[in-house]
Homo-oligomer: A and B are copies of this chain.
Amino acid sequence: MSENVAGEIGAVAALVRSTFLVNAVYVESAREYGITQQQGQLLCVLMAQPYGMTELGGVLGLAKSSLTGLVDRTERNGLVERRPDPGDSRAVRVALTRRGARLADEFYAETCRRVEELTAGFTAAERDTLAALLGRVVTDNQVPTVFLEPDQVR
């Protein structure tokens, strides 16, 4: 296991370093749309559906109080809004505004484009293999849906 011949890279380092890369792409893409990474992440999550605050905390892995601030700032930017929960007057549904939905679409598409570019040198088969393996990592470890499939959009 992990016999490292010169020039090869182990699975762990490959995961960590590619994470660093994708993260940078995400940040840069967000920056280009005038939002932060966190706000971009929030928009991408909300593309699927509105969520309550507590629920969002679970998906994004944040404390409740962190979320209040994030939603505050994103709301101030006019991208999301708090709607009253019909069934529970304590609760709130966070949803994209029209502007937020538009920006989410653009940001999402641009981010997809850039991430796809990271595998520009891959054959279709290689890309599929990578997708299948990483897909298992994701499902085995129950990663919440912080990023939709392209065909789930709209």
Q: Give the interface of A toward B (CB within 8 A).
A: 1-2, 4, 8-24, 26, 61, 111-112, 115-116, 118-122, 124, 126-141, 143, 145-151
| This chain's copy number in the assembly | 2
A12-B122 contact given A19-B18, A138-B18, A143-B18, CB 8 Å threshold: no
- A145 cross-chain contacts in B, Cβ below 8 A: 17
Secondary structure class of chain A's binding surface, majority of residues: helix
CB distance from A119 to the nearest CB of B (A): 6
A147 B16 Cβ-Cβ under 8 A = yes
CB distance from A117 to the nearest CB of B (A): 9
A13 B118 Cβ-Cβ under 8 A = no
